[in-house]
């Protein structure tokens, strides 16, 4: 990765992106570099899902600096904020895999709750030292999930920002706690915060423990396409580039202290998603035996506490800020499958954790 040193003497002050080597953070940074002038500092712990190879194709003169570190490292973060004087902090850093949170919740508590608390304290200290326009312009944006709201019944309306938090998994509970902290730091200390709660993202660079890239790997390997239970668990699906544009919109125009739900208006069951993936693969890379990839679909035992349905009402961000998703599910899925087919080396490399140990794909995130 090319690194440009960024400091407070740059013409435009940078933004600090935490967790920028992960799936959504990567896409956000690549999108930002195409559309905005402010430099970026990418602070990432580089856990198994972080990958600096995601940035191998960026221009050598791109204004991006990488810092290997943890949002919970207060000394590091304070020094970074003092040196770079960022105009905003965007917190993408999170442990996000539900199955992993069920098996080992400790890391989720440490990163998503304690880490967010420490980052908030560093941000508050930084903000309180800013003067004039720098202080008025500063923002802390928390990137969160619709899973904090719990599960919907088939007849219930999609989640709105006013819905109570009813998290079901350790992951969802840790993100709900983090969101509460962000709101409290605004109400108690006046910290200028914004929060986005998004639906299921999909697109390039997603670590292949998640449903769509996992199904692509399994299909191309001739293995079973495992679907939890009856496959009728329903989610709203959001193409990651649309999510990135929503985050940029909220950062630039969102009302202080407000929460904005971000969805794709693409509510699909897990079985529908897998069938759609198979249809695209059938068209792009047909099986040598002429059969459909659908023949590989199978059912596996459901996971504990599996929420039945999520759906997002995005009317607030659409009406207040003029944002709307640009991709249909069909167009976004086609782009996604084609990206993975064109980047099989990335896909193969991502199956190795940074420690060199094989990642376990028996669990799947859906």
146 is an active site residue: yes
CA distance 184 to 117: 11
DSSP state of 159: B
How many other C-beta atoms lie within 10 A of the C-beta of residue 247? 25
Phi-psi region of 196 (alpha: psi -120 to 50; beta: other; left: phi over 0): beta
Query: Which candidate in 147, 209, 307, 327 is catalytic?
Result: 147
DSSP state of 50: -
Query: Which candidate in 70, 73, 99, 146 is catalytic?
Result: 146
What are 202's strand-pairing partners?
Answer: 239
User: End-to-end CA distance of the chain, in Å?
Assistant: 31
CA distance 194 to 191: 10
CA distance 307 to 305: 6
147 is an active site residue: yes
Query: Which candidate in 149, 171, 228, 260 is catalytic?
Result: 171
How far, in whole angstroms, is CA 123 from its chain's centroid?
Answer: 21
Q: Dig out the tokens for 88 from the structure.
A: 């905003």
Judge contact between 205 and 196, C-beta under 8 A. Answer: no
CA distance 206 to 212: 9
For residue 44, give the H/E element and its range: strand 40-44
Strands 15-18 and 88-91: parallel
CA distance 164 to 265: 21
Q: Dig out the tokens for 87 from the structure.
A: 């105009």
| Token pair 């970026």 in the structure block, residue | 40
Q: Which residues contact 28 (CB under 8 A, 6 or more apart)?
A: 17, 20, 90, 92, 244, 247, 248
**For helices 329-342 and 211-220, what crossing angle results, to 10°?**
50
358 is an active site residue: no
Q: Dig out the tokens for 350 from the structure.
A: 């991502």
What are 259's strand-pairing partners?
Answer: 195
User: Which residue numbers are catalytic?
Assistant: 146-147, 171
């Amino acid at each position: 990765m090319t690194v440009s040193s960024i400091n407070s003497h740059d013409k435009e002050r940078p933004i600090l992106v935490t967790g920028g080597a992960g799936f959504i953070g990567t896409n956000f940074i690549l999108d930002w570099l195409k559309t905005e002038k402010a430099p970026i500092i990418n602070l990432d712990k580089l856990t198994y899902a972080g990958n600096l190879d995601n940035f191998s194709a960026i221009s050598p003169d791109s204004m991006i600096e990488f810092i290997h570190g943890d949002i919970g490292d207060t000394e590091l973060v304070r020094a970074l904020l003092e040196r770079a004087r960022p105009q905003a902090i965007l917190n993408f850093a999170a442990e996000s895999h539900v199955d992993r949170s069920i098996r080992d919740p400790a890391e989720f508590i440490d990163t998503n709750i304690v880490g967010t608390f420490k980052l908030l304290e560093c941000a508050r200290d930084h903000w309180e030292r800013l003067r004039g326009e720098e202080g008025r312009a500063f923002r802390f944006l928390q990137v969160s999930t619709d899973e904090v709201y719990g599960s919907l019944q088939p007849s219930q309306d999609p989640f709105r920002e006013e819905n109570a938090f009813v998290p079901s998994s350790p992951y969802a509970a840790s993100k709900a706690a983090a969101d509460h902290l962000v709101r409290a730091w605004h109400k108690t200390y006046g910290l200028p915060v914004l929060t986005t709660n998004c639906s299921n993202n999909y697109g390039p660079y997603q670590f292949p423990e998640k449903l769509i890239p996992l199904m692509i790997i399994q299909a191309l390997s001739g293995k079973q396409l495992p679907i939890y239970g009856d496959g009728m668990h329903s989610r709203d699906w959001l193409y990651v580039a649309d999510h990135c544009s929503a985050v940029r919109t909220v950062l630039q125009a969102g009302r202080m202290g407000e929460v904005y739900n971000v969805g794709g208006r693409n509510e699909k069951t897990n079985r529908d998603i897998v069938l759609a993936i198979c249809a695209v693969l059938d068209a792009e890379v047909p099986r040598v035996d002429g059969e459909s990839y659908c023949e590989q679909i199978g059912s596996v035992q459901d996971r504990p506490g599996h929420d039945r349905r999520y759906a997002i009402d995005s009317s607030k961000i659409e009406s207040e800020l003029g944002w709307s998703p640009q991709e249909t599910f069909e167009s976004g899925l086609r782009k996604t499958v084609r990206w993975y087919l064109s980047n099989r080396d990335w896909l193969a490399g991502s199956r190795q954790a940074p420690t060199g140990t094989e990642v376990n794909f028996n669990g799947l995130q859906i």
